[in-house]
Amino acid sequence: MIDSLTGAFNRRYFDEQLKDAFTLTQRESKEGIHTQVGMLIFDLDKFKSVNDRFTHAEGDRVLKKFVESMKSMIREEDVFARLGGEEFGLLIRESHKLSTEEIAHMVYRYRKIISENVFTGPVGGEKTEPVTTSVGLVLYPNGAVIEDISDFFSYADQALYRAKYNGRNQVVEFMGLDSDGQPQFSKVDVSPK
């Protein structure tokens, strides 16, 4: 259940919890119950350079500090896990209880705390650089036809890569499918309140 390096949940546990939450949301939606589940995928920006420039020990320290910072902020009912390498997932249970703006502020807060608390730099040196994150966000249901869990995960992953491609250090949300069935994405902007 637990990733041995960081202390976050591991990918297997995350996948099980995501499947359960998705299936429950799918069933409740079909029964006319307004419910929703969300997922965030975080990727530490330019993490490979941390290992290359400062050693793998520094990379491990950064991963541990990132997880420590995230675990101090997330809601008790949500599930935070290491998906692999420098990629992490956050399952947002019952996201329908949060407005879109509240979710945006929640993610903004996560990214702000990370950049203020997680730094990297030369071992034994004083020069440090803040760690930034790119984030993909998907909510279900959201008007798009999402048949199974692999689609749900894929759209979050595509949103993450859109965030990285568009300059990193940002959040991109999967917005649904256009009339041609093509995925649509939007950068999530939020005023820092």
Q: Among all residues, which ones are annotated catalytic?
A: 86
| Spatial distance between the Cα atoms of 38 and 95, rounded to a whole number of angstroms | 6
Residue 176 pairs in a beta bridge with 184
- Backbone region of residue 138 per phi and psi (left: phi > 0; alpha: psi in -120 to 50; beta: other values): beta
Give the three-state DSSP class for 175.
Answer: strand
| Spatial distance between the Cα atoms of 5 and 67, rounded to a whole number of angstroms | 10
| Spatial distance between the Cα atoms of 95 and 51, rounded to a whole number of angstroms | 35
Q: Residue 4: which of 70, 60, 45 has the closest Cα?
A: 60
Give the three-state DSSP class for 105.
Answer: helix
| Spatial distance between the Cα atoms of 79 and 57, rounded to a whole number of angstroms | 26
| Residue 124: exposure state from Cβ atoms within 10 A (0-12, 13-18, ≥19) | exposed
